[in-house]
Amino acid sequence: MGFNLPVVTKNLIIINVLLYLACIAIPSLAAPLTGYYFENPLFKPWQIVTHMFMHGSPGHLLMNMLGLLMIGKDLESYWGPKKFLNYYLICGLGAFGLHEFVTYLEVTKYASQLPIDFVNLVKLEGREALLDNKNFINTDAANLNGAFNSGIVGASGCVFGLLVAFGLMFPKASLILFPLPFPIQARTFVIGYAVIELFLAYADRPSDNVAHFAHLGGLLFGYIILKIWQKQGKLYS
């Protein structure tokens, strides 16, 4: 089945899988390609793109590639490879942009609660603590460390953009989602998923180490692009 996939969808899956395997074989590749906060010394401009091809675990990779496989092939067939790829990448860039903006707000907030020397200590030495599965006892310092020194990886923002496109273009299409024993309309699923992500973004961040605002960024930027295309009569072409 994989050889019958549209060219962009197939190559995106191949690139994601190969990069994941490469980082297992050469762990030092991961940090330069992970997306970091723009004030972090590890941040490099290319990470704005490379982060969306990186994944932190087999489950993370599998879920995103399944979403790309199931939704991407249909959208690419409608739009063609160039339009599909542009949309996919813009959603990923939008996801990173919103994540960076929210991180900036968090860093500013938590840093304002701490002495400047403590802030500098967190920024300089906090990453080593995170790599050792440790963090600061002080809540503001721990949150600052998580925001400033944690990287972002994954195609989730792109896949969420694909999801909102599918829901807008085929709102009444039925989706079978394990473990639900009944089909659910695409439009209902997208709206429900967005509400859940928004709730989790405020309820759990930054403690759950999931970039919920990146997911929402993919949804938001995808929706904006889709509405522009819809107004121009280019949504289905």
Do 52 and 158 contact (CB within 8 A), yes or no? yes
The DSSP code sequence of 84-129 is HHHHHHHHHHHHHHHHHHHHHHHHHHHHTTS-HHHHHHHHHHHHHH
| CATH 3.30.70.270 at 2-231, yes or no | no
Structure tokens at 196: 């859940």
| Mean per-residue pLDDT pooled into runs of 10, the chain (237 residues) | 79 97 95 96 97 93 89 91 96 95 94 96 93 92 94 92 90 71 78 73 56 85 94 85
Contacts (Cβ under 8 Å, ≥6 apart) of 120: none
pTM above 0.75, yes or no: yes
